[in-house]
Structure 1
């Protein structure tokens, strides 16, 4: 998986709506030079148009938009909310919002495969939802990655 840095993560975030949660996640990508501001609007509009497709697992949303909406580089941001919010999905309420960007239709495939492995683990989802600091989020992900590499050896 792409290396996740502390500046890619925000914890203890207070929002009132799913739109706000997507904006917070998008602002991280924007600040880190991964997207344009239009991409944030693209993520919100896509969810409004297609429904809560972004809620991919219990408590986890993975919003994204199309490359042409303003993706500059492959990027990821993780936002852990203080209080869960509803997107209108059977997997609500959402506590962790993971936004990603990709400048084309293929460069993010490996990232998504790694995320799928990570988020299929119920214990990991629970740990992420309860993480209190960006450092804790990084440690959870790094621990998962090292366990997986040990299993392969």
Structure 2
């Protein structure tokens, strides 16, 4: 299974990590995936638990509980024009955010599995970081999807 984003945004400007997460949240809102509550929950997670979502150098995976305003499952990829600090000594600064909003616990685990495959693909991560437009960023995933019938298949994982 591979990851395919519902929302993409290349080279966005963010003054800090909180604004970067708000960009993800606004994409979810515009797509009808989640409400503002989900962005708030992602931000509160960092404030409460620290930069746990900064998984590797330059890359964060913002997410929160499905009960926090998720309307339907979805994913997002945002790259920043300039990296921001999350407070992770080992992995700051962050220039790429790969996020998910799951409808339930089963969906949460399925999305983590799909994202794990993406994060382990160094060539794909390099292409994501190199994309300069939303269209170019979306095309990276469209090309990766060729021949993969499980791509983006999060249907049936709607919130109950």
Deviations 1:77-115 (A, max 9, x none): 111100111111111111111221112111132222121
Distance in 2 separating the partners of 1:103 and 1:47: 21
Distance in 2 separating the partners of 1:32 and 1:148: 24
State the partner residue of 2:158.
none
1:46 CA drift (Å): 0.5
Is 1:56 aligned to residue 52 of structure 2? Answer: no
State the partner residue of 1:4.
5
Structure 1 residue ranges without an equivalent (≥5): none
Judged with a 3 Å threshold, the aligned counterparts in structure 2 of structure 1 residues 108 and 80 are, in CA distance, closer, same or farther, namely same
Paired residues for 1:59-138 under 5 Å? 59-89=58-88, 90-138=90-138
Instruction: Work out the number of aligned pairs and report it.
Output: 147
State the partner residue of 1:20.
19
Distance in 1 separating the partners of 2:5 and 2:16: 25
Deviations 1:14-58 (A, max 9, x none): 111000000000110011111111111100000111111111122
Distance in 1 separating the partners of 2:48 and 2:104: 21
**Bigger Cα displacement from structure 2, 8-17 vs 118-127:** 118-127
1:67 CA drift (Å): 1.3
1:34–1:73 CA contact under 8 A, matched in 2: yes
CA RMSD of aligned residues (A): 1.9
Between Structure 1 and Structure 2, the one with more helix by share is: 1
1:126 CA drift (Å): 1.7
